[in-house]
Amino acid sequence: MGKLRTVEIIIRGDIIERNIILKLAERLRESGLRADFSSSIAVPPVLKAVERRYPSLAVLYATVDLEDLFSFKALVEELCSQEECTILSFKEL
């Protein structure tokens, strides 16, 4: 890997129900981009969240090669668009 950048991505939506993290990992593996991420997911009380359709939040910390940064961002945006999630923040740390 060349020059690495760390980015923080905050996503809001049905993270658990739609397997957003798993789908992102699969797409990242298929894409061949030089990137990896860790995630933390905050879910409101699950029974009420499912019943009332409360969204959850996922905070991703990704390490991305500088050359792949824009492609990685496009990959995340495309997935979120398809899965009806919202990217609240995408910033380089």
* Helix H or strand E encompassing 18: none
How far apart are alpha carbons 34 and 81 in whole angstroms?
Answer: 22
CA distances in angstroms from 62 to 20, 45, 75, listed in the order given:
15, 27, 13
d(CA 91, CA 7) in angstroms, rounded, equals 5
pTM of the model: 0.86
Contacts of 34 (CB under 8 A, 6+ apart): 1, 2, 64, 65, 67, 68
Residuewise pLDDT in 10s, the chain (93 residues): 579 999 999 999 988 888 999 999 999 999 989 999 999 998 888 777 777 878 889 999 999 999 999 999 999 999 999 999 999 999 998
